[in-house]
Amino acid sequence: MVNKKSIRFWGDREVRAVWDDKHSKWWFSATDIVRAINDEEDYAKAGNYWRWLKKKFCKDGIELVSITHEFKFQAPDGKQHAADALDADGVQTVTRHYPNNRAVAFLDWLTYKTH
């Protein structure tokens, strides 16, 4: 059961998160993470890049074991939309292997914000 929601901002990019009582941890929107790291305005482009990145990680033998599919986040239109989500370990895995040097700064920021 999810009962807390959070929107954090890295620069002017939002990163949506929801609290999972069952597992006692935050889950972060994978597309929002990509959007923030790449400073991408377009959600569709960020989503496409996330799907490409997942395939690349899989081919490289990098497993995102904490990824959940069809996790629901509230979109700007107020509706709940299914999205991939990552816990803190998954975010660390993504940022360690991210093909962009802004990923380290993002991880530092997120780690500070979640503690």
Q: What is the pTM of this model?
A: 0.84
Q: What is the C-alpha separation between 104 and 106, in angstroms, rounded?
A: 5
pLDDT digits (tens, 9 = 90+) for 12-53: 899 998 888 888 888 899 999 999 999 999 989 999 999 999
Instruction: Locate the domains of the chain by residue range.
Output: 2-114
Determine phi and psi for 43, rounding to 5 degrees: -60, -40
pLDDT digits (tens, 9 = 90+) for 56-70: 998 999 877 666 665
Q: What is the C-alpha separation between 69 and 60, in angstroms, rounded?
A: 20
Beta carbons of 91 and 30 less than 8 angstroms apart = no
pLDDT digits (tens, 9 = 90+) for 67-110: 666 578 877 778 888 888 999 889 999 998 888 888 989 988 88
Strand 13-20 with 25-29, pairing: antiparallel
